[in-house]
Amino acid sequence: MQLPSRPKPDDIHVDGARSQRGFLMIETMLAVAIVGTAMLAVVSAFSTASRTSSFVEDTTTAEWLATSQIEVIRTAAFVLTPGTYPAVSAPAGFAVANTTSAITGGDQNIQTVTVTVTKAGEVVYTTSTVKVNR
């Protein structure tokens, strides 16, 4: 009686090992795709946060400039309409302008003053106040 021959180690589960390697490759590709998508989302979030921060900083600076300009206008001598009051100095990239207009049907001693703050030629903030000649 002859015993059955032992299988060689290379013959054991050859098909199973090949399918296992393919399965690992698919898992790796899937993991890379998931990590890549997550990284894209993180980079996008940083980009959005940076733009939002820049917008808020510009708006805050513009509000501060407009408030400063209104304080200068309140303390300045009355300028006849149409006219402008001296502008405050602005940080690099910003510009402050003001215009006067008479109140419709009103007294020439009362005017509306509009202050506009721009950055790189685009309006960032606009506000108005009333100036009375006393």
Of 83-87, 102-106, 128-132, the poorest mean pLDDT is in 102-106
Between residues 116 and 26, the one the model is more confident about: 116
Give the residues across from 99 on adjacent strands.
Answer: 114
User: Could you tell me the pTM of the whole model?
Assistant: 0.67
pLDDT, tens digit, 9 for 90 and up, residues 86-122:
999 999 999 999 999 998 887 889 999 999 999 999 9
Tokens 């009375």 belong to 132
Domain residue extents for the chain: 12-132
Between CA 98 and CA 83 the distance in angstroms is 9
> Is pLDDT of 12 > 70?
no
pLDDT, tens digit, 9 for 90 and up, residues 60-76:
999 999 999 999 999 99
